């Protein structure tokens, strides 16, 4: 127990004097109204005047004085030691990826240091150790007060790249302050978390003042999810942690591009272990849909692994009809070499063309020995026209009977290179040209071709050639057919005509052809621009302004070639402010850059120089008695005033106090004092506890404060959606409002920017003209403070579209009133309980929503039908606009679009026409919120009628 102003405790010595003064000073005499004097004749005088103040009242007043004195002395529990040095306070904060997990604990630790500095009136300097998002150098802040420092630190967010302690060291040495400082290093606990040694960095800090290091407790530090091997048929879920702890279980889940969970597996750290791994077998269909792996409840960019096209196991069909040679001589069969080359990277299926084409395929491989008939060739051609990729190999059959299933016209017969009766030598491969999908693959010197089928000379033959022999003749040709492609290798798939099937070149060429089946560009890209990047908490969003394209690495030539890379491992590219983790490329080729790629361990800070104090971030915080003591003193003061009024006859007494002051028993007075103190304590704690229970999100889920949020919401028109706590529903809401904003920018003069999420408990909503609020079964009811903000928002002209989404679950009462009859409607009543909601009616056919921009007859969403509810009589204060609109058709699901602008969900039963009507309804709602009831004004009726006539 310590006191921030201990000198005020001297006033406690005056309590005996106060007792004596209150004891000798009687209370003021009571004023009595006497009746007529004649009524007093014959009465016996009986005067009673109290000689002193009752002892219990003196005790009460002395208690009030003692509580005030103790409160002003500012007692603190667990406040920590006083600053060692008389100089300023320097806060060194690791804000790299290692600090993301437990960021709220770091914020609380920073608040404790700032509170102590504020009490002692010390200037504060803040230094972060990760490179800023704008790409500039690391710079220390100026010396500032505690208020400015608190605003600066609350706006900090962890970066999705490592810290740079070398650069932070140079920035610290350039800081200007004269006296030795009190230095607090909020460390992420990682050794070599970027560059620079932690011990050397600590010695640099020590040279300018005493250092206190605050870091995570064992087992509570950073956790990283290592991306699986791209070419491994099994998925290895591997987690790393910096410091060993107890037995900890984590859940790793994988989701697709729509946020649907495809896998959820537990990975357990053993006691004292820093590495945990679990291998799973994932079906090809699920593996190909996977876009993201993440460790649950670990909000960090290192705990997220983005999945790109390199992880896809494409289904490849190999036509196999002649089984005689394959069974008698399997090592000579073409299917054997194809299967061994493709099996680690694709799902292999064998059978007749009819059997293979009955299931979805990425590539159909046709070896020469398959012997296709005319009917099979027609079926393959039709499948290829629809987008399939056909890979065909030449051989004796094709040489004798060329057909139309070829990218180029072929000469009849084959060409023999080398042999006992020939002067020619076997031909080697020429280096792959820059425009070829095989560009970047090194051609071995020992690969030779003995026989080939020649292509007929033509003007377009060079443009259709992907690979050549050293004499310039074509070895691999390709051509587009409708939406698909046909590729021909002018030699056999086995070792009859070439030894290429025995080399690693064969595997690499086949992988690139298979990857091309999914639209991945195989040509080398000079630079891949960032598409979307992760923030420090692992959330995917827009790239920061300083993000640069991924450029070609001379030491890792396959780094930027996702199709058929030379290695099965992911390329190790250092993550930095210029290249944050995320997706790079374009719509046809995207490369995932993950923070934990190539990471085999997270080295923890093992030793620090002598003289440095080390504290844990989860150490109990200080407890401030000041508000409690003053609240108790105020409650007792009110009680004292009430007792004084009773003694003077100016207020009714609940106990017999009207007589002599001594009529009140001492026990009863003590009971009153105790009840008052308990009531004051209850009043002081009930509301904060209730607010914490209903409003405060979990520490890991609490979003950092964005100081620019208010400006972005004020200076630009933005649609907003209410967070429900369900990540899938929130993502649909975001995507839906993005799609609606795109329609508004395209079709109207309204140009909304990117929609914003709103936490109804903590965010100000007055900036937005329109809120979309999806109702879920598990979202908590708003607190009293949130209800007040909602009431102000509605009264000041804001509009809320509540979507109960009951139609999405097939809820209907048969009358079309789903918006007010399903489980979502019941939850909505709970949400709106306590708000002054005007009477609602079903939207009439001539309501302004039917003509605000488009002329509409109904209001569909992802689902049709249902009823839209609006206010029966919109007030003039809101320009005739209904502040509350309630529907049940999952409107955001119909509006939602992905990054490519494609619809994310199907709409039923009306298809594309229904989606168009849903977009029109969304446009009408926004125009209705922004422009009011101008369409209902009689002045505009002639113009509207004229437009209808046209």
Render 700-745 in DSSP notation, one character per residue.
Answer: GGPPPP-TTHHHHHHHS---EEE--S-HHHHHHHHHHHHHHHHHHH
* pLDDT for the residue numbered 693: 35
d(CA 199, CA 189): 12
Instruction: Yes or no: say if 538 and 340 are a contact pair by the CB < 8 Å rule.
Output: no
Query: What are the percentages of helix, strand and coil residues in the chain, rounded to 5?
Result: 35, 20, 45
517-533 burial, b at 16+ Cβ within 10 Å, e below that, comes to bbebbbebbeebebbeb
* pLDDT for the residue numbered 158: 92
As a whole number of angstroms, the longest Cα–Cα distance in the chain is 161
Instruction: Yes or no: say if 164 and 97 are a contact pair by the CB < 8 Å rule.
Output: no
* pLDDT for the residue numbered 559: 31
Instruction: Yes or no: say if 448 and 427 are a contact pair by the CB < 8 Å rule.
Output: yes
d(CA 154, CA 651): 50
DSSP for residue 771:
E
d(CA 92, CA 113): 12
Distance (Å) of CA 559 to CA 194, 516, 719: 22, 17, 40
Q: Provide DSSP, 458-516.
A: -TTTGGGEEEEBTTS-EEEEEEEETTEEEEEESS-SSSSSBSGGGSHHHHHHHHHHHHH
**CA-based end-to-end distance of the chain:** 83
Name the nearest CA neighbour of 763 among 732, 790, 736.
790
Assigned token pair, 611 = 């003289």
- Which regions in the chain score pLDDT beneath 70? 2-5, 22-52, 78-85, 192-196, 219, 230-233, 321-331, 418-424, 518-526, 551-572, 586-589, 618-622, 648-708, 807-821, 873-880, 933-950
Distance (Å) of CA 572 to CA 556, 581, 596, 644: 9, 12, 9, 80
Q: Provide DSSP, 202-269.
A: HHHHHTTS-EEEEEPPTT-S-EEEEPPPTT-SSEEEEEEESS--S-EEEEEEEE-TT--EEEEEEEEE
Please, which contacts does 395-399 make with residues 24 or more away whose CB atoms are closer than 8 Å?
Answer: 395/334, 395/367, 395/368, 395/369, 395/453, 395/491, 395/492, 395/493, 395/496, 395/497, 396/368, 397/368, 397/369, 397/371, 398/368, 398/453, 399/453
Instruction: Yes or no: say if 871 and 928 are a contact pair by the CB < 8 Å rule.
Output: no
* pLDDT for the residue numbered 238: 92
d(CA 469, CA 855): 66
Instruction: Yes or no: say if 868 and 842 are a contact pair by the CB < 8 Å rule.
Output: yes
* pLDDT for the residue numbered 27: 57
Q: What is the pLDDT of residues 213-261, one digit of tens each?
A: 988 877 678 999 999 876 566 788 999 988 887 778 899 999 988 888 8
Radius of gyration of the chain from its Cα atoms, rounded to whole angstroms: 39
Assigned token pair, 195 = 């560059």
Type and span of the H or E element at 75? strand 75-77
d(CA 441, CA 500): 14
d(CA 456, CA 471): 15
């Amino acid at each position: 127990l310590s006191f921030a102003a201990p000198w005020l405790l001297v006033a406690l010595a005056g309590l005996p004097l106060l007792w004596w003064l209150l004891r000798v000073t009687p209370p003021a005499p009571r004023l009595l109204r006497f009746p007529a004097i004649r009524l007093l004749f014959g009465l016996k005088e009986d005067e009673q005047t109290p000689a002193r103040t009752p002892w219990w009242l003196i005790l009460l007043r002395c208690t009030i004085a003692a509580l005030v004195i103790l409160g002003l002395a500012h007692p603190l529990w667990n406040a920590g030691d006083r600053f060692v040095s008389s100089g300023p306070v320097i806060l060194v904060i690791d804000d790299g990826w290692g600090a993301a997990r437990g960021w709220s604990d770091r914020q609380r630790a920073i608040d404790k240091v700032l509170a102590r500095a504020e009490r002692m009136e010390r200037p504060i300097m803040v230094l972060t150790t990760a490179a800023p998002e704008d790409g500039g150098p690391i710079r220390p802040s100026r010396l500032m007060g505690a208020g400015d420092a608190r605003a600066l630190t609350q706006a900090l967010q962890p970066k999705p790249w490592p810290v740079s302690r070398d650069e932070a060291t140079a920035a610290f040495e350039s800081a200007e302050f004269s006296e030795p400082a009190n230095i607090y290093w909020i460390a992420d606990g990682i050794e070599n978390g970027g560059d620079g040694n932690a011990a050397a960095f600590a010695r640099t800090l020590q040279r300018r003042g005493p250092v206190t290091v605050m870091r995570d407790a064992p087992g509570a530090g950073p956790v990283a999810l290592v991306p699986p091997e791209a070419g491994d048929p099994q998925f290895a879920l591997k987690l790393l942690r910096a410091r060993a702890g107890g037995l900890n279980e984590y859940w790793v889940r994988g989701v697709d591009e729509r946020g649907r969970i495809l896998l959820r597996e537990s990975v357990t750290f053993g006691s004292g272990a820093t590495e945990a791994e679990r291998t799973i077998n994932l079906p090809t269909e699920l593996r190909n849909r996977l876009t993201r792996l993440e460790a649950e409840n670990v909000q960090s960019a290192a705990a997220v692994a983005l999945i790109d096209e390199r992880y896809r196991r494409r289904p490849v069909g190999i036509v196999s009809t002649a089984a005689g040679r394959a069974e008698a001589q399997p090592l000579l069969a073409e299917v054997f070499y194809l299967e061994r080359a493709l099996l680690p990277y694709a799902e292999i299926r064998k059978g007749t063309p009819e059997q293979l084409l009955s299931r979805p395929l990425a590539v159909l491989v046709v070896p020469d020995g398959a012997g296709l008939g005319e009917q099979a060739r027609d079926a393959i051609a039709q499948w290829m026209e629809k987008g399939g990729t056909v890979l065909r190999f030449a051989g004796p059959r094709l040489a004798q009977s060329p057909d139309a299933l070829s990218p180029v016209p072929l000469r009849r017969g084959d060409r023999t290179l080398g042999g006992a009766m020939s002067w020619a030598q076997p031909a080697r491969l020429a280096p792959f040209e820059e425009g070829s999908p095989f560009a970047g693959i090194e051609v071995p010197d020992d690969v030779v071709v003995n026989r080939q089928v020649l292509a007929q000379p033509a003007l377009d033959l060079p443009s259709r050639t992907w690979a050549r022999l050293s004499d310039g003749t074509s070895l691999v040709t390709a051509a587009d057919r409708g939406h698909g492609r046909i590729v021909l290798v002018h030699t056999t798939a086995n070792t009859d005509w070439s030894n290429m099937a025995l080399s690693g070149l064969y595997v690499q060429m086949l992988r690139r052809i298979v990857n091309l089946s999914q639209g991945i560009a195989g040509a080398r890209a000079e630079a891949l621009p960032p598409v979307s990047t992760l923030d420090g908490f692992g959330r995917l969003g827009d790239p920061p302004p300083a993000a640069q394209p991924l450029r070609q690495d001379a030491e890792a030539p396959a780094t930027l070639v996702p199709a058929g890379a030379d290695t099965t491992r992911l390329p190790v590219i250092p993550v930095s402010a210029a290249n944050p983790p995320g997706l790079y490329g374009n719509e046809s080729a995207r490369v995932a850059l993950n923070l934990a790629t190539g990471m085999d361990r997270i080295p923890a800070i093992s030793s620090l120089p002598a003289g440095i104090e080390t504290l844990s971030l989860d150490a109990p915080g200080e407890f401030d008695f000041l508000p409690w003591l003053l609240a108790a003193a105020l409650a007792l003061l009110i009680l004292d005033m009430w007792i004084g009024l009773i003694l003077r006859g100016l207020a009714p007494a609940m106990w017999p106090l009207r007589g002599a002051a001594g009529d009140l028993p001492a026990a009863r007075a003590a009971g009153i004092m105790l009840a008052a103190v308990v009531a004051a304590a209850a009043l002081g704690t009930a509301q904060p506890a209730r607010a914490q229970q209903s409003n405060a999100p979990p520490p890991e889920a609490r979003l950092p404060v964005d100081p620019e949020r208010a400006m972005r919401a004020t200076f630009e028109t933005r649609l907003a959606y209410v967070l429900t706590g369900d990540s899938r529903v929130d993502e649909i809401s975001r995507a839906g409002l993005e799609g609606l904003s795109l329609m508004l920018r395209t079709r109207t003069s309204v140009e909304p920017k990117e929609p914003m999420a709103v936490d109804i408990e903590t965010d100000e909503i007055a900036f937005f003209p329109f809120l979309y609020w999806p109702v879920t079964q598990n979202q908590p009811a708003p607190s009293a403070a949130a209800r007040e903000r909602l009431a102000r928002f509605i009264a000041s002209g804001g509009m809320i579209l509540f979507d109960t989404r009951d139609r999405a679950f097939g809820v209907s009462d048969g009358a079309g009133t789903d918006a007010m009859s399903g489980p979502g409607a019941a939850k909505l009543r709970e949400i709106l309980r306590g708000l002054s909601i005007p009477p609602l009616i079903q939207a009439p056919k001539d309501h302004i929503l039917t003509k605000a921009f488009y002329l509409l007859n109904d209001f569909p969403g992802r689902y049709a039908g249902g009823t839209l509810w609006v206010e029966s009589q919109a007030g003039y204060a809101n320009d005739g606009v209904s502040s509350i609109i309630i529907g049940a058709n999952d409107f955001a699901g119909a509006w939602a679009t992905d990054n490519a602008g494609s619809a994310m969900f199907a709409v039923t039963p009306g298809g594309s026409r229904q989606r168009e009507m849903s977009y029109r309804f969304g446009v009408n709602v926004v125009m209705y919120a922004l422009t009011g009831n101008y369409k209902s004004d009689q002045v505009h009726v002639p113009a509207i009628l004229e437009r209808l006539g046209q």
